[in-house]
Amino acid sequence: MAKGGIAAEVAKPVSNWSWLEEYLQLRVDLGQVLATFPDDEPMHNAVAALPGLRLLRQDYWECLASFILSATKQIVQIRQMVALLSKRYGEPIASGGGEPAFAFPSIKAIAACSEKELRECKLGFRAPNLLGAAHNILDGTIGWQQLPTMSSDEAREELMNLRGVGPKIADCVLLFAGGHHEVFPVDVWIERALQRLYFPKRRPSAKRLRKFADTHFGPYAGYAQQYLFHHARIHLKLK
């Protein structure tokens, strides 16, 4: 994904790529981000292993919905659920002549589904949670439109009013959709990675790790989380 890309090489750009620049957060200076990371061995290793890793800036709804689906599911299966939902309830989008492609379903499209239909997309017990989120957004139970202007603490609290949304999922939405780069979501992988890398003997509680994450990684803790997370998944044999 070299900068400049295709658009710069054609005489007349047929398309405006600014959405992609936004999605990949190309305005963020990675060098400045990396400079804020703690000067310790786990971070050095993680950064060295994954040069150029970036956070995405995702759509709020797509992000929230995906992470509601993620509870107790493997990543391959999450992709499956998302693909199935999109195929059945999403709008068709340009696919470049290959397989037909579909956007992630809108809030209204999901709200119009029955729980049964969602369960038929293999959502299991997550089906009522996704449906409830769509309803609560549309009926104003939570301040959806105000989320982008809220502080991360306010937005987290607001999101956690949704059934099926706890601290981890809320933090993922803050980081990946809200652009709150200081937020450090703690999931089972990061928990294991932090224990292994920073506390090989002690095995601190989840609560303790939460506090460590909040104080140790600085203003771009979310980026640090991503480097550690993917490094741990790819190179460390955890579990």
Closest contact distance (angstroms) between CB of 6 and DNA is 27
Instruction: Choose the catalytic residue: 87, 168, 201, 237.
Output: 168
What percentage of the chain's residues is helix, strand, coil (to nearest 5)? 55, 0, 40
Question: Least distance (Å) from DNA to the CB of residue 226?
Answer: 7
- CB of 50 closer than 8 Å to CB of 231: yes
Question: Interface residues for DNA in 61-90 (CB under 7 A)?
Answer: 70-78, 80
Q: Which of 110, 220, 225, 231 binds DNA (CB under 7 A)?
A: 225
Tell whether residue 54 is a contact of DNA (CB under 7 A).
no
For residues 100 and 167, which CB has a smaller minimum distance to DNA in the complex?
167
Minimum Å distance from CB 18 to DNA?
25
How far, CA to CA in Å, does 133 sit from each of 26, 65, 120, 143, 163? 31, 8, 18, 12, 7
Q: In 10 A of CB 128, how many CB atoms?
A: 15
Closest CA to 22 of 57, 64, 62, 54: 57
Cβ atoms of 111 and 141 within 8 Å: the answer is no
Q: Is 170 in the site for DNA (CB under 7 A)?
A: yes
The region that residue 71 occupies, defined by phi over 0 for left and psi between -120 and 50 for alpha, beta otherwise, is beta
Q: Toward DNA, which CB reaches closer, 44 or 233?
A: 233
What does DSSP assign to residue 105? P
Of the candidate spans 22-30, 131-139, 140-148, 161-169, the one that interacts with DNA by CB under 7 A turns out to be 161-169
Q: Respond yes or no: is residue 168 known to be catalytic.
A: yes
Instruction: Indicate the SS3 state at residue 101.
Output: strand
> Any idea what DSSP says for residue 104?
P
Among 124, 179, 204, 218, the residue binding DNA under the rule CB under 7 A is 124
Residue 222 near DNA by CB under 7 A: no
Amino acid at 195: Q
Is 199 one of the binding residues for DNA (CB under 7 A)? no
Q: Residues interacting with DNA, by CB under 7 A?
A: 70-78, 80, 119, 122-125, 160, 163-170, 172, 185, 187-190, 205, 207, 225, 229, 239
Catalytically annotated residues: 168
